[in-house]
A and B are shown apart, each in its own frame.
Chain A
Amino acid sequence: MAGLELLSDQGYRLDGRKATEVRKVQARMGVFAQADGSAYLEQGNTKALAVVYGPHEMRGSRSRTLHDRAVINCQYSMATFSTAERKRRPHGDRKSTEMSLHLKQTFEAAVMTQLYPRSQIDIYVKILQSDGGNYSVCVNAATLAVIDAGIPMRDYVCACTVGFVDETPLADLCYAEESGGVSSLALALLPRGGQIALLQMDARLHQDHLEALIEAAMIACKGVSKVLDEVVRQHLQEVSMLTAE
């Protein structure tokens, strides 16, 4: 993409952000009454809905019951209207299955599954509008939904994508930046302990830059976790005010 300058000389990106700025995060919890936990999260133009059912008895294949832990079942799907071109296959294709596996892996590490043996927790995430950073937005939305459902977790799980342009790490890539062939790294972090739940990177990056990139991703994730914490406290206040009346 020759015409687009991903990082200008003054240090501004395509949408006017600086290199380390994350997009604006807006979230609401308890969006659906039917589900045990639900959340809606917007990060810039990327919008995701997450819904959690559980913990409940194993449905479907009883043989997959684990005697000491809960099984986490994730499904990731994109709405057909979420991308610029209409998506023909929202589930079942390889990318969606891979994303679902990654989400499952991330939450298995964070949720305290030992407290619910022989049960199942379902997490469904749907992308309503895709503008880059799909995985990170899903993880953030799902974290809020799990908290809304009252399932104990070790820590917030925050995720962020970082890219590397002109020797500078750019935090929270949008779609134009992602498709411009930038090497992007997606990181899911538990901020308090600095533990990485998932690390994923595509495209070429020289080994020497890896440390800087991971460091930038961790800082961005910590920023996101502050916002999520704020949202949770706000929601709790609202709910307690309503129920106190």
Chain B
Amino acid sequence: MRLDGRQTYDYRTIKVTFGTDYGCCFVDLGKTRVMAQVSCEIVAPKESRPNEGIVFFNIELSPMASPTFEQGRQSELSVKLNRQLERCLRNSKCIDTESLCVVSGEKVWQIRVDVHVLNHDGNLMDASSIAAITALCHFRRPDVSTQGDEITVYSPEERDPIPLSVYHMPICVSFSFFQQGTYLLVDPCEREERVMDGLLMIAMNKHREICSIQSSGGIMLLKEQVMRCSKIASVKVSEITELVGKALENDRKARKAGEKCGFAESLPQERITALKTDKTPVEAMDVTEKVDDIIQKAEVPPLSVPSPSLPVPGVGQVGQNTWGLDEEEEEEEEGEEDRDSSGEEEEKGTKTQKEKDKGSQTADLIIIDEVVELSDSEEEEVVILHPDT
């Protein structure tokens, strides 16, 4: 049983969302958040491979992801992640680079995959690999046609952009080892990563082909451990590939149907500032008369003093409440709210409520003469609670 309640072989929840452009993809692995963007450009090919396109990977560890990341410095972790992603995706030849050739020896497409780490909560490698391969599957490059020496690149409006030909989808699975290899955990979170002895990363695709294995950290492995890990990895990879396939399919359908899709749409409405409350139906008839009625029948509010000194020893008294101002305020405010427009957000609502507080209190002062006149300060009234009144 781990810190966050998972079992040893459990992955955190993976969420894949897409941006508005083709080739932009966000992956959430628990709290780890990673964004991948694919872009393309026509360049001259490498001399050793004149008829193949170029694929370039880059992982950016932005300082906003974790306080340990520094801006500009290429840390060890950055090199490690970059190399692993390159080896996992490039050496396994998951993309058909020959189809990226425009004019052999002169012009080829260079596909650039930029992965930005937005939040580091462990297991950046897995999240980055999922993001990169999903973005590559999602990407569409502009259509190109050659007439003799002339090359025309069509914009997305003229001709539909073409997807890249992806042979297979390699996905990395990370295993962390603890206590000289006695314990093994899949998908370590950031805290587990800090105390682990070593890491084994296996990249596989759903056809059970291993694309890359890399062991890091100073651990000693046994052959049986490696075999067991590879079996676990094949199960996990097939699950994740299915999930990614579904996400791609959903996005494709959404775009076809013309729905709005993109980062802003997919962001969940979790925070209170984004929450809208429905109108609460309140009877607004004869409010002023009712209010006058209640105020006249109300008790005299206790003595109010400007300085906030509370000599009362006991707090949270039980019994008859002496906060005479309560009920009237509530009614007043509800009435006011209802009269205002209903689309008001809560923040604005609280502000206006405060104003109404003052308003209702000054109203009280005007109506009830027995209350001692306060100073002219703009502060709210302070009421002293006496336990035995």
Contact partner of B222 among A196, A201, A206, CB < 8 A?
A196
A195 to B216, alpha carbons, bound, how many Å?
Answer: 14
B207, closest chain A residue (CB): A206
Q: CA A98 – CA B74 in complex, angstroms?
A: 12
Q: Which residue of chain A lies nearest to B197 when distances are taken between CB atoms in the complex?
A: A109
Listed by A's residue number, 5 A-B pairs whose Cβ atoms lie within 8 Å are A98-B79, A109-B218, A194-B223, A195-B222, A201-B210
A206 contacts B210, C-beta separation under 8 Å = yes
In the bound assembly, the distance between CA atoms of A210 and B82 in angstroms comes to 25
A105, B217: Cβ atoms closer than 8 Å: yes
7 nearest interchain CB pairs? Answer: A195-B220, A108-B218, A201-B213, A202-B91, A196-B221, A109-B218, A98-B83
A198 near B215: Cβ-Cβ < 8 Å: yes
Q: Which of A185-199 touch B at CB < 8 Å?
A: 185, 190, 193-199
Q: Which residue of A lies closest to B200 (CB)?
A: A199
Quick check: A194 and B222 within 8 Å, CB to CB? yes
Closest CB-CB distance, A197 to chain B, in whole Å? 6
B208 within 8 A of A: yes
CB neighbours (8 Å) of A24 from chain B are none
Q: A185-B213, A203-B211, A207-B208 are in contact. Are A95 and B83 (CB under 8 A)?
A: yes
Give residues in B with beta carbon < 8 Å to A: 76, 79-80, 82-83, 86-87, 91-93, 200, 204-205, 207-223, 226-227, 230-231, 234
B8 shortest CB reach to chain A, Å: 21
For B208, the chain A residues whose CB sits under 8 A away are 206-208
Q: A185-B213, A196-B223, A214-B226 are in contact. Are A207 and B234 (CB under 8 A)?
A: yes
Q: Which residues of B contact A102 (CB under 8 A)?
A: 216
Contacts of B212 in A (CB 8 A): 201-202
Are B223 and A215 touching (Cβ within 8 A)?
yes
Q: Judging by beta carbons under 8 Å apart, are A94 and B92 in contact?
A: no
Show the binding face of A for B, using Cβ within 8 Å: 94-95, 97-98, 101-102, 105, 108-109, 185, 190, 193-208, 210-211, 214-215, 218
- B80–A195 contact, CB under 8 A? no
Option from A101, A205, A207 in Cβ contact (under 8 Å) with B76: A101
CB-defined contacts of A101 to chain B, threshold 8 Å: 76, 79-80, 216
Q: Chain B: which residue is nearest A200 at the CB level?
A: B214
B210 and A207 form a contact (CB under 8 A): yes
Q: Please name all residues of chain A whose beta carbon is closer than 8 Å to the beta carbon of B231 when the two chains form the complex.
A: 207
Whether A97 lies near B223 (C-beta < 8 A) is no
Given contacts A98-B80, A196-B220, A197-B220, 8 further A-B contacts (CB under 8 A): A94-B79, A194-B222, A195-B221, A196-B222, A196-B226, A204-B205, A208-B208, A218-B223
Give the shortest distance, in Å, between B49 (CB) and chain A (any CB): 12
Q: Nearest B residue to A206 by beta-carbon distance?
A: B209
Contact A196 to B215, CB < 8 A, known contacts A101-B80, A203-B92, A204-B92: yes
Chain A residues with Cβ below 8 Å from B207 are: 206
Cβ distance A194 to chain B, nearest Cβ, rounded Å: 7
Most buried by B among A98, A102, A200: A98
* CB neighbours of A197 from chain B (8 A): 218, 220
Q: How far apart are the CA atoms of A205 and B86 in the complex, in Å?
A: 17
- Partner of B227 from A95, A97, A206, A211 at Cβ < 8 Å: A211
Q: Say which residue of B83, B200, B217, B226 sits within 8 Å of A94 (CB atoms).
A: B83
Q: How far is the CB of A184 from chain B (nearest CB, A)?
A: 10
Bound complex: CA A181 to CA B230 (Å): 22
Contact of A211 among B209, B211, B220, B223 (CB under 8 A): B223
Q: Considering the chains assembled together, what is the distance between the CA atoms of A143 and B210 in angstroms? A: 30
Q: Which residue of B lies closest to A198 (CB)?
A: B215
Which of chain B's residues has its CB closest to A108's CB?
A: B218
Which residues in B have their C-beta under 8 angstroms from that of A194?
222-223
Contact of A207 with B222 in the complex, beta carbons under 8 Å: no
A190 to B221, CA, bound (A): 10
- The answer to whether B218 touches A105 (Cβ under 8 A) is yes
Give CA–CA (A194, B200) in the complex, Å: 17
Across the interface, which residues of B come within 8 angstroms of A214, CB to CB? Answer: 223, 226-227
Known: A199-B214, A199-B226, A210-B230. A204 touches B83 (CB 8 A): no
**A205 near B210 (CB under 8 angstroms)?**
yes
Report how far A199 CA is from B79 CA in the complex, Å.
18
* CA A109 to CA B223, docked complex, whole Å: 16
A187 CB to nearest chain B CB (Å):
10
Contact B215–A199 (Cβ < 8 Å) = yes
A98 to chain B, nearest CB (A): 4
B218: A residues at CB distance < 8 A: 105, 108-109, 197
Looking at the complex, which one of A190, A208, A215 makes contact with B220 (CB distance below 8 Å)?
Answer: A190
How many angstroms between the C-alpha atoms of A199 and B201 in the bound complex? 10
User: Please, how many angstroms separate the alpha-carbon atoms of A95 and B84 in the complex?
Assistant: 11
B204, B209, B220: which has the most chain A beta carbons within 10 Å? B220
- Counting chain B CB atoms within 10 Å of each CB, which of A206, A207, A215 scores highest? A207
Residues of B within 8 A of A190 (CB): 220
Residue in A closest to B168 when the chains form the complex, CB atoms = A204
Contacts of B215 in A (CB 8 A): 196, 198-200
Q: Verify B87–A109 contact, CB threshold 8 A.
A: no
Whether A207 touches B230, Cβ cut-off 8 Å, given contacts A108-B218, A202-B91, is yes
List, in ascending order, chain B residues with CB within 8 A of A210's CB: 210, 226-227, 230
- Contact A205–B216 (Cβ < 8 Å): no
Q: Which residues of A contact B76 (CB under 8 A)?
A: 97, 101
With a CB–CB cut-off of 8 A, which chain A residues contact B79? 94, 97-98, 101
In the assembled complex, the Cα of A190 lies from the Cα of B93 at a distance in Å of 32
**Residues of chain B lying within 8 A (CB to CB) of residue A198:** 215
